[in-house]
Amino acid sequence: MNNNDMWNQTAQTVVNAGLIPIPISETLIGLLQVMMSQEQADFVRHFDKPSLNIDQLKERSDLAEHELMKMLDSLMFDGIVVGIPSRSTGIMVYRLLGPFPGMFEYTNLRGETGEKQKKLARLFEKLFDEMRNFTQENYDLYVKHAREFPPIVRVVPIEEEIAGPATDKIMPIEEVSGIIDKFDEIAVAHCYCRHSKDLVDESCSITDERLNCLLLGKSAQFASEYKFARMISKEEAKAILIKSSDEGLVHKAFHIHLDTGRDEEAICNCCKCCCGPFQLYYRGVSAYHCHTNYLAEIDDDRCTLCEECIEACPMETIELSDDRVIVGESKCIGCGVCAHQCSEDAIVMKRTESRQVFVPPPRVEA
């Protein structure tokens, strides 16, 4: 096999391991060539399934056991593979990451600013542009298939805004503090999205904070062991969430295998100018798709038409119409940012049944 064929196969294997279909291109291959050595790339091709245990990898590889463990250790340190014990058997499972989400996050979690990281950030930006072009050129087909994919995140409302008469209906997992209280292992890392934007000189317009990405449970243990994050207390985590709320950021919970019936593995605090799902939506790359249990509702008697909420809404779904502020319910993700920013307390967060919000990407020009 020649070198080009090897890298093409590696790229296809990485894409197959991910959640988002990404065209194989020179940009993607170039990105992988910066991220991994040729030996690592050759080994990655053994992942004919995204997740394999050590016995399965032994069957696929001709490496001696100590060489195999050394290879896996290097891939985990470089943010290409994640190794976490199975929750049912305790056996270590090695999962190959896709380009995005996956490798993008881990290459930025440490907050490194070297030439390699800057080059990767530029290549990811170019890759996102290529993904946008692919989506826009195949728009109707993309939207049809995108509806079939599960949401990547669950939006958790700002806790202060869901207290009140409906408190007895609120589940602990709907409160960020309740999520934190479930875990003994919590780690904090750099916000990978804002850090990547910093590397291409497009810094966040909402917050100067960078250490506000929280990893939970076994994900926290892995990230701490491989120096992607540092362990913190529950009190420190809650302080990070309070500051994030006050700055107008959206709490998003990531669940194991994207299954909201399973435990959370991370909480991000997101802005629309940097953070992945928002950015890919506004750039016309992908739909905005999430789980939520809340909907913003305007109290017309209290509302002074100051338009603070219009400015704050990360989905741009609040508008002034006929001297009333209107919430576009089909795009409301129930984050509570508008309610938290409203100085007149004119917005309440109404609890709904668990629902999915799916907003197709806008039509944009390349």
Within a domain: 148: yes
Within a domain: 94: no
pLDDT in tens, 68-121: 999 999 999 999 999 999 877 889 999 999 999 899 999 999 999 999 999 999
Residue 165 has pLDDT above 60, yes or no: no
pLDDT in tens, 193-236: 999 999 999 999 999 999 999 999 999 999 999 999 999 999 99
User: What is the spatial distance between Cα 220 and Cα 61, in angstroms, rounded to a whole number?
Assistant: 29
Residue 162, domain extent: 142-359
Within a domain: 328: yes
Could you say which DSSP state residue 315 is in? Answer: T
Within a domain: 215: yes
Q: What is the mean pLDDT of residues 41-55?
A: 96
Within a domain: 158: yes
Within a domain: 259: yes
User: What is the spatial distance between Cα 100 and Cα 124, in angstroms, rounded to a whole number?
Assistant: 9
Within a domain: 192: yes
pTM of the model: 0.92
What total number of domains does the chain contain?
A: 1
Q: Is 284 left (phi over 0), alpha (psi -120 to 50) or beta?
A: left
Tell me the CA end-to-end span of the chain in Å, nearest whole number: 36
User: What is the spatial distance between Cα 265 and Cα 216, in angstroms, rounded to a whole number?
Assistant: 5
Place of tokens 């950030």: 121
pLDDT in tens, 286-315: 999 999 999 999 999 999 999 999 999 999
pLDDT value at residue 166:
46
Within a domain: 199: yes
User: What is the spatial distance between Cα 11 and Cα 5, in angstroms, rounded to a whole number?
Assistant: 10
